[in-house]
Amino acid sequence: MDALTWTGSLGTVLNPLLWVSVALLLLAVAGQVLASLLPAPQMRPRPDGTLVATTGLRGLADTAGRFALLALLAVLLAYIVAGALMPYGSAGIVGAVARRFAPVWISLALVFALSIHFRRRLGLFGRLFDSTIGMIGFGLVLFWVFTALYFTAFGWIATHDPLSQLSGMKNVLPGEPVAMAPEGAWPHYLLGGDNLARDVFSRMVAGSAIVVLIAPLATLFAFMVGITLGLPAAYFGGRLDQILSFLANLVLAFPVILLFYLLVTPEIVQTGIPSFMAMVLFVFPILFLAVLLDSRYRTDRRKRWPILAVTLAVTGWLYLSLVSQPGTPVNFLHPDVDLFNIPGGILIVFVSVVFVNSPTVFRIGRGLALDLATRDYVAAAQTRGERPWYIMLWEMLPNARGPLIVDFCLRIGYTTILLGTLGFFGLGLPPESPDWGTTINDGRRFLSIYPHAAIVPALALLSLVLGLNLLADGLREESLKD
């Protein structure tokens, strides 16, 4: 079987268009830079008495940049659509990869169509689709979320087992046919092989599942810890605020990488400290949900106790299954009722991320609460006789949602980079793990000879973090309009 070229028969038509669109975009960007050095456009009056800025060279440069970007996106979309529809091999590596991601493209199209159609009913999320930056960021993030979901749930997208090694495929270039392929195996390594003859494309897909699993959940847990402590610290003040602020500053005083290194070293793991930290930190989501629901239904006794009982039972069972892990000092749950067993490396990294991020979230929540505590609606709630936790969680917290949502998206990006850094240094996760940081570290040793093994996961990591940052920028723009 022949090796695949990058674009196959698509290249004769689309490759020239791609280079032309890239050249036009670069020229448009250069024009925008030069136009920004010119004087600001003058204002001219309209017949109704209002003023409008004249277009000038700045407006022409912005318009040219917009059309050049749209042309480039149209060419890239043509690669994806044509490659997914053409027979396997005729569209080259690009077409084969596009075909593998077909479930992701369909899911993205459905989500965007429904979101745009109902955006006026979806609040802040709906207004996100009025921002071009927000839409691009949301699309990048959702792409990797769907990739991780389909790979984890159904084993789709990936072409080979990310841990399997095939003879003769060590450091092969992208598009090389599989030598002595087993019956039913995928015939090519689409993005090449690494130094252990594993499929780079499949490891990239499998690595997304690890990142998408750890980063958002760890950030969510950190927010529950930080908010649960930050709101009462600001609202009550006094000695409670001093103690909690001192502890937060104490954790923040340590360099992040050094703190992670201390938490994931084998000597620290053997003492059981990460397991005991998990027991403490994972209590906070239960406390947060219990206090949130109790303060909401305190006056409705028919709903209060059943809701609390169900919430505590479900979250308590999840908590016990999460912290009880075989082979650790914390192993008290019978295997028949243990819902899941998280691999030790992932649990340690998860706990470390929550522990490191919680103090920063505490500082942000405390700062927002100090400002919101002076608002009139808080004084009105106090006059009505509402209890402190109701005021904090149902009066102050909803009004802080804009900055918190933006910081949540940014913090997922920071956590993603942090996970990549840990994997790059070989900390926490096992060495055969397909996470992007470990894969980059494996490929960097041969970067000057076989760069594809490191470049592919690096671009995946870059695209996800870029998407999270653009999503946060879009949400910030729309939240400021409230």
Residue 172 CA to chain centroid, in angstroms?
A: 31
Per-residue pLDDT at 301: 78
Q: Are residues 86 and 219 in the same domain?
A: no
Within-domain flag for 200: no
Domain boundary among 100, 133, 151: 100
In the block, which residue shows the tokens 């900055």? Answer: 403
**Spatial CA neighbour of 422 closest among 410, 438, 408, 434:** 438
Within-domain flag for 110: no
Asked if 308 contacts 264 with a C-beta cutoff of 8 angstroms, the reply is no
Q: CB neighbours (10 Å) of residue 116?
A: 13
Domain boundary among 406, 421, 438: 438
* Residues 6 or more apart whose Cβ sits within 8 Å of residue 138: 128, 467, 471, 474
Within-domain flag for 355: yes
Q: Are residues 238 and 387 in the same domain?
A: yes
Number of structural domains in the chain: 2
Using the predicted structure, report yes or no on whether residue 357 has a pLDDT greater than 60.
yes
Q: pTM (2 decimals)?
A: 0.85
Per-residue pLDDT at 460: 93
Q: Are residues 221 and 89 in the same domain?
A: no
Per-residue pLDDT at 106: 92
Q: Are residues 92 and 224 in the same domain?
A: no
Q: What are the pLDDT digits (tens) for 405-426? A: 888 888 888 888 888 877 777 7
Residues spanned by the domain of 94? 1-36+57-100
Q: Are residues 283 and 416 in the same domain?
A: yes
- 45 - beta bridge partners? 51
| Distance (Å) of CA 451 to CA 173, 194, 420, 441, 455 | 9, 10, 18, 12, 6
Per-residue pLDDT at 438: 85
Q: Are residues 85 and 214 in the same domain?
A: no
| CA dist., res. 345 & res. 212, Å (int) | 16
Average pLDDT over residues 326-353: 73
Q: Are residues 74 and 210 in the same domain?
A: no
Using the predicted structure, report yes or no on whether residue 143 has a pLDDT greater than 80.
yes
In the block, which residue shows the tokens 């699309």? Answer: 139
Average pLDDT over residues 447-458: 88
Within-domain flag for 183: no
**Spatial CA neighbour of 21 closest among 64, 83, 84, 82:** 64
Q: Are residues 86 and 212 in the same domain?
A: no
| CA dist., res. 465 & res. 255, Å (int) | 22
Within-domain flag for 184: no
Within-domain flag for 339: yes
- Element housing 482 (H / E): none
**Spatial CA neighbour of 189 closest among 212, 205, 173:** 173
Per-residue pLDDT at 105: 92
Q: Is the dihedral of CA 407, 455, 139, 102 positive or negative?
A: negative
Per-residue pLDDT at 366: 92
Average predicted confidence (pLDDT) for the chain: 84
* Residues 6 or more apart whose Cβ sits within 8 Å of residue 415: 214, 215, 218, 219, 353, 357
What 3-state class would DSSP assign to 84? helix
> DSSP of 422-470, one letter per residue?
HHHTT-SS-TT---HHHHHHHHHTTTTT-THHHHHHHHHHHHHHHHHHH
**Spatial CA neighbour of 171 closest among 368, 401, 446, 478:** 446
> Angle 419-133-220 (CA atoms, 0-180°, nearest 5)?
35
Q: Are residues 210 and 96 in the same domain?
A: no
CB-count exposure of residue 471 (10 Å: 0-12, 13-18, 19+): buried
Q: What are the pLDDT digits (tens) for 83-109? A: 888 888 888 888 889 989 999 999 999
Q: Are residues 303 and 424 in the same domain?
A: yes
Alpha helices in 37-156 (DSSP H): 56-85, 92-100, 102-117, 123-127, 132-154
Residue 406: half-sphere exposure toward Cβ, Cα within 13 Å: 16
Q: Are residues 72 and 216 in the same domain?
A: no
Within-domain flag for 47: no
Q: Are residues 92 and 212 in the same domain?
A: no
Looking at residue 263, its amino acid is: L
Within-domain flag for 376: yes
Average pLDDT over residues 435-440: 87
Asked if 182 contacts 206 with a C-beta cutoff of 8 angstroms, the reply is no
Average pLDDT over residues 327-335: 70
Residue 293 CA to chain centroid, in angstroms?
A: 28
